[in-house]
Amino acid sequence: MIETLLVGLDAALRIDTFVWISAGLLLGMLMGSLPGFTTTMGMSVLVPISFLVGDPLIGIPFLIGVYKGGIYGGSVPAILVSMPGTGASIATVFDGHELTKKGQPRKALEMGLYASAISDFFSDVFTLVMIIPVAAVVLNFGPPEIASVMFLSLVIIAVTSTGPVIKGLIMLCLGVWLGFIGADPFSGMARYTFGTNELYDGFHLIPMLIGLFALPEIFNAVKEGDRSGSRIAFVGERLRLAELKRSLRTICRSTVIGTGIGLVPGLGQPIAAMMGYIAAKNASKTPENFGKGELDGVAAAEAANNAVNGPTMVPLLTLGIPGDAVTALLLGAFMMQGLRPGPTLLETSGETVFAILIAMVFANVLFLIIGYVTIPLFARVVTIRRSLLIPVTIMLAFAGTYLARGNPFDIVTLIGFGLVGIAARTARFDVAPMVMGFILGRELEYTFGQTLALAGEDWMRFAFVERIGMTAVLIATPIIGILLGTRMNRLRQRAIAREQA
Amino acid sequence: MSIDPVGVAAASRWFGSRGRVRLAAPLFCAAVLAISLTVAQAQYPEKPITLIVPYAAGGSSDLNARVFTTFINEYLGQPMLIKLVPGQAGQKGTLEAVRSAPDGYTLLFTDNYRDQLHRYTFRNDAYDTNTDLVPVARVNYGEIGIIVRTDGPYATWAELEADARARPGQLTMSHSGLWVALFVPALQIMNNLGLQLRMVPYRGGGPAKAALMAGDVDVSMAFPATVAADVEAGRIRILATAGPERILEGVPSFAEIGLPATTGFMHRVVMAPAGVPEDRLRVLREAFARVQAEEAYQELMDQLGENTEYLDGVDYELVRRQQSNDYRELAESLLEQ
């Protein structure tokens, strides 16, 4: 094992590998920062380059660079113009965009970058060292366990949303219901589509996100007009070392959460980012600052979503099972290089695999450098005059929506959810539980259906013998929910009392 | 038709001086005429061809398309660009292809289930694949195999069949989604042999295989290439493979276990909207045929676990008619229940 690692290290230390990773990172960041252009789309376009190169130590690290760059790139528009390009950057919007509004976009971007790079680095090291022992554990997570964890996540999101719990619950249920629109995943029958073809696939996540998060911001900015002065936006200060140090605990916590979630195929970055954020808010001494431009919130979300990346390689490499579309593309890229992911890969080409994993760890260092160089460029976006920035943002919102799948109906979705977002903001409803309800509700339904199909008639045996893990999570759910809920309530009241004092 | 940019610059300089305008007019006319003549004579294709891929990014079909489109520009003289149009179980992309102009500049990459089976399972008035699409070429095909765990109770298909018969509706099978590559042959098997398995859906072949390996389900299906590493490692056993003859040593064919020889084949096909001129179809078919002969292409496909069994569109049309009948019966037998 150690020997293979050393040979791998030797093979990975190549200047051309690093050049290609850098190219991938840069391309990924650019693509990720364009709303509507997802990492999956970017990678799928770039896959031919990787196989034409013909060297696994160039082609695959290149794609890994695109992957990492893309995930981080998505947080750039989230922070600058409140436009999350994917579900992974929802939690980044909460505090990231508030910081931009306070004139600190650079600070938020830098915190995002450092948190992402640090957590990515450690989750990759974890993957590299633990790949063999962890592989056996991964298979134990099936639909029943995923369904129970999703249910727990929904409960946690509902009780920790800002404002009264009942409002959070209403929005959550609304989101879950929105997720039901479209084809039933088990029979293919249309539900709540009102006979239209457009709704057969349900609402698309990207227009929903842009509509709910970006359009209300634009609306507010237009309403305020130039009253607030056209020079409120600054690049702002750099992140101070002390600030980074203060968030190190949060970054560590989020790294652990993200890595854990990444190991379970099918949970994904949106849940990781949300859970990391909620955990940070719960552990904070000043939870009332979350959502109002708390640097720690940016760190929590960004560290958690990037930590998912590394561990998704475990089921991919050891079992040949891709957890999502991005890893499915990587699977193809590996196969085209003559590396067949699966139980025999580590025996037959262990050196190449470890070289790739080591290159993945080093990629984070390059990631830090490239991100650092590009941040001032990105941050300058918001210093454009408002009368120019707002139209450009509107254009980005519509173009991004259309780009995502080229469906004109998505424009309607965008405007519709924009109106919902504006209404919700006026009535002081938090839209985050709705979006999470939408994302998780669909998955929960699917995994629950799978669980029922698996369980068959003897469900007692299924729940208490075969799937004891699922049952344990389900029993713990109300307890965790009540504890968290009362704690949040107490904190909220304390914050109100403090404000009045 | 390509205009030399240097020539354009020179011409505009020449026309730029006013005294020459009178002379320029007839020359301009002549030039336009010359250009339009070259257009008329130009070889198809003279601009990039769009290939509509009605699958999500990252799937095996996306990957297949990326491989052959990378090679085909050499033989067409023009690039073939992929346009992913996922949605409505492939109907959205198919509809877009059907509605595009039949000029050979828009093609569709599909498979036999989307082409012939979904007409019965997802009723649709917007198009009829049989009259609206013509096959250009079959790029490759896959034969499905029935797989179990090696540490499970089944060493042969006969044992599995006997157990399934003894406990109807008790055995579970994982599949990759409704009405596609693993689900359809499983239905055909159950229908033909009178078996009843509990079908558990997963999002794609990978997760379906994972469910088998984890012991969550009793049996699954897979294209042999996708489980080659697991078979080698001794974790998965293939009990039977599709087709009239054996393709793996010691593994019975579907014909031997009492199934029709056509069950369990997935064909990947390039289609064109009906009405494409014959000469353009010929150009396309020839290009696909020549790509299939290229070594570098064969090597890449081999590593992906795909064969390069090219079949000309004309011949595939016959296969297609047969499928149409089989699938109608299958769909009817199910929708009645």
> Would the pLDDT of B3 be above 90?
no
Strand partners, B22: none
Q: Average pLDDT, stretch A321-333?
A: 83
> Would the pLDDT of B160 be above 90?
yes
Assign residue B311 the CATH number of its domain: 3.40.190.150
**Arithmetic mean of pLDDT over chain A:** 88
Residue B9 has a pLDDT of: 43
What is the pTM for the complete model shown?
0.85
Asked whether residue B254 is domain-assigned, the answer is no
**What are the tokens at A438?**
């939408």
- How far is residue A69's CA from residue A63's CA, in Å, rounded to a whole number? 10
Which residue's structure tokens are 């000309």? B312
A193 touches chain B (CB under 8 A): no
pLDDT band at residue A321 using 50, 70 and 90 as cut-offs: confident
Q: 3-state class of B241 per DSSP?
A: strand
Which residue's structure tokens are 């012991």? B215
Residues 6+ apart with CB under 8 A from B335: B120, B121
Interface of A with B in 130-149 (CB under 8 A): 139-140, 142-143
Q: In chain B, which residues have their Cβ closer than 8 Å to the Cβ of A142?
A: 211, 214, 216
Of the two residues B55 and B172, the one the predictor is more confident about is B172
Cβ neighbours, 10 Å, residue A409: 16
Q: How far is B304 from chain A (nearest CA, A)?
A: 5
Residue B15 has a pLDDT of: 43
CA end-to-end span of chain B, whole Å?
59
Q: Which of A41, A132, A141, A319 to mutate to test the interface with B (most CBs of B within 10 A)?
A: A319
Q: Average pLDDT, stretch A124-128?
A: 93
Asked whether residue B17 is domain-assigned, the answer is yes
Of the two residues A255 and B42, the one the predictor is more confident about is A255
pLDDT band at residue B19 using 50, 70 and 90 as cut-offs: very low
pLDDT band at residue B269 using 50, 70 and 90 as cut-offs: very high
| pLDDT tens profile A64-97 | 999 989 888 889 999 999 998 788 899 999 999 9
Domain check: are B54 and B119 in the same one? yes
Nearest to B70 among A52, A201, A338 (CB): A52
Q: Which of B88, B113, B120 to mutate to test the interface with A (most CBs of A within 10 A)?
A: B88
Task: Report whether A62 contacts A53 (CB < 8 A).
Answer: yes
> Would the pLDDT of A324 be above 90?
no
Task: Report whether B113 contacts B181 (CB < 8 A).
Answer: yes
A325 touches chain B (CB under 8 A): yes
Q: Which of A140, A329, A336 to mutate to test the interface with B (most CBs of B within 10 A)?
A: A336
Q: Which of A31, A43, A51 to mutate to test the interface with B (most CBs of B within 10 A)?
A: A51
Interface of A with B in 350-389 (CB under 8 A): none
Domain check: are B132 and B275 in the same one? yes
Asked whether residue B253 is domain-assigned, the answer is no
Query: Searching chain A, which residue's CA lies closest to the CA of residue B85?
Result: A405
| pLDDT tens profile B191-207 | 999 999 999 998 888 88
Q: How far is A283 from chain B (nearest CA, A)?
A: 36
Q: How far is A27 from chain B (nearest CA, A)?
A: 18
In total, chain B counts a number of residues equal to 337
Nearest to B200 among A139, A344, A454 (CB): A454
For the four alpha carbons of B315, B58, B213 and A128, in that order, the dihedral sign comes to positive
Ranking A192-196, B29-33, B333-337 by mean pLDDT, the lowest is B29-33
A407 touches chain B (CB under 8 A): yes
pLDDT band at residue B12 using 50, 70 and 90 as cut-offs: very low
Q: In chain B, which residues have their Cβ closer than 8 Å to the Cβ of A340?
A: 228-229
Q: Average pLDDT, stretch A482-496?
A: 84
Tell me the C-alpha to C-alpha distance, in Å, between residue A13 and each of A23, A250, A275, A373, B279.
16, 32, 36, 23, 53
User: Strands across the sheet with B145-149, in order?
Assistant: B198-201, B172-175, B219-222, B145-149, B236-241
- How far is residue B40's CA from residue A295's CA, in Å, rounded to a whole number? 64
Q: Average pLDDT, stretch A258-263?
A: 92
Which H or E run includes B198? strand B198-201
Q: 3-state class of B38 per DSSP?
A: helix
Asked whether residue B152 is domain-assigned, the answer is yes
Contact B229 A344 (CB under 8 A): yes
| pLDDT tens profile A10-41 | 888 889 999 999 999 999 998 888 887 778 88
Q: In chain A, which residues have their Cβ closer than 8 Å to the Cβ of B62?
A: 44, 329
Q: Average pLDDT, stretch A320-325?
A: 78
Q: In chain B, which residues have their Cβ closer than 8 Å to the Cβ of A186?
A: 178, 201
Task: Report whether A218 contacts A393 (CB < 8 A).
Answer: yes
Contact A139 B213 (CB under 8 A): yes
Asked whether residue B215 is domain-assigned, the answer is yes
What are residue A82's phi and psi, to 5 degrees? 60, 40
Q: Average pLDDT, stretch B51-73?
A: 87
| pLDDT tens profile B208-254 | 988 999 999 999 999 988 888 889 889 999 999 999 999 998 999 99
Q: How far is A366 from chain B (nearest CA, A)?
A: 26
Domain check: are B330 and B186 in the same one? no
Domain check: are B104 and B132 in the same one? yes
Asked whether residue B182 is domain-assigned, the answer is yes
> Would the pLDDT of B117 be above 60?
yes
Asked whether residue B261 is domain-assigned, the answer is no
Contact B172 A456 (CB under 8 A): yes
The tally of domains found in chain B comes to 3
A202 touches chain B (CB under 8 A): no
* Strand boundaries in B202-335, DSSP class E: 219-222, 236-241, 265-273, 311-312
Q: How far is A200 from chain B (nearest CA, A)?
A: 6
Contact B179 A188 (CB under 8 A): yes
Nearest to A342 among B63, B121, B233 (CB): B233
pLDDT band at residue B1 using 50, 70 and 90 as cut-offs: very low
Tell me which DSSP letter residue A198 carries: G
Query: Searching chain B, which residue's CA lies closest to the CA of residue A140?
Result: B214
Task: Report whether B337 contacts B190 (CB < 8 A).
Answer: no
Residue A494 has a pLDDT of: 82
Note if the bond before A408 is cis, omega within 30 degrees. no
A454 touches chain B (CB under 8 A): yes
CA end-to-end span of chain A, whole Å?
62
Please spell the DSSP secondary structure of A351-375, one letter per residue.
HHHHHHHHHHHHHHHHHHHHHHHHH
Contact A140 B214 (CB under 8 A): yes
pLDDT band at residue B11 using 50, 70 and 90 as cut-offs: very low
Q: Average pLDDT, stretch A332-339?
A: 86
Ranking A60-64, B69-73, B143-147, B227-231 by mean pLDDT, the lowest is B227-231
Of the two residues A484 and A380, the one the predictor is more confident about is A484
Domain check: are B15 and B73 in the same one? no
Asked whether residue B251 is domain-assigned, the answer is no
Q: In chain A, which residues have their Cβ closer than 8 Å to the Cβ of B198?
A: 453, 456
Contact A200 B58 (CB under 8 A): no
Cβ burial, residue A327 (10 Å; 0-12/13-18/19+): buried
Residues 6+ apart with CB under 8 A from A450: A143, A144, A147, B200, B201, B202
> Would the pLDDT of B25 be above 60?
no
Range of the domain at B176: 145-241
> Would the pLDDT of B13 be above 50?
no
Cβ neighbours, 10 Å, residue A348: 14
Residue B32 has a pLDDT of: 55
Most trustworthy range by pLDDT among A227-231, B56-60, B158-162, B179-183: B158-162
Which H or E run includes B51? strand B49-53
Q: In chain A, which residues have their Cβ closer than 8 Å to the Cβ of B302?
A: none
| pLDDT tens profile A408-443 | 899 999 999 999 999 999 999 999 999 999 999 998
- How far is residue A298's CA from residue A304's CA, in Å, rounded to a whole number? 10
Residue B18 has a pLDDT of: 46
Q: Tell me the domain boundaries of chain A.
A: 2-500
- How far is residue A152's CA from residue A274's CA, in Å, rounded to a whole number? 13
Nearest to B206 among A139, A321, A345 (CB): A321
Q: Which of B64, B74, B203 to mutate to test the interface with A (most CBs of A within 10 A)?
A: B203
Q: Average pLDDT, stretch B2-10?
A: 42
Domain check: are B222 and B278 in the same one? no
Q: Average pLDDT, stretch A356-361?
A: 92
Cβ burial, residue A101 (10 Å; 0-12/13-18/19+): middle
A319 touches chain B (CB under 8 A): yes
- How far is residue A235's CA from residue B259's CA, in Å, rounded to a whole number? 69
CB burial of A11-35 (b: ≥16 within 10 Å; e: otherwise) equals bbebeebbebbbbbbbbbbbbbbbb
Q: In chain A, which residues have their Cβ closer than 8 Å to the Cβ of B212?
A: none
Domain check: are B37 and B72 in the same one? no
| pLDDT tens profile A287-309 | 889 999 999 999 999 999 999 98
| pLDDT tens profile B270-285 | 999 999 999 999 999 9
Ranking A58-62, A136-140, B1-5, B9-13 by mean pLDDT, the lowest is B1-5
Contact B214 A343 (CB under 8 A): no
Cβ neighbours, 10 Å, residue A4: 16
Assign residue B165 the CATH number of its domain: 3.40.190.10
Domain check: are B57 and B135 in the same one? yes
**What are the tokens at A395?**
């254009």
Residue A227 has a pLDDT of: 58
**Arithmetic mean of pLDDT over chain B:** 86
Which H or E run includes B34? helix B21-41
What are residue B137's phi and psi, to 5 degrees? -165, 150
A408 touches chain B (CB under 8 A): no
Strand B198-201 and strand B172-175: the pairing is parallel
Query: Searching chain A, which residue's CA lies closest to the CA of residue B202?
Result: A450
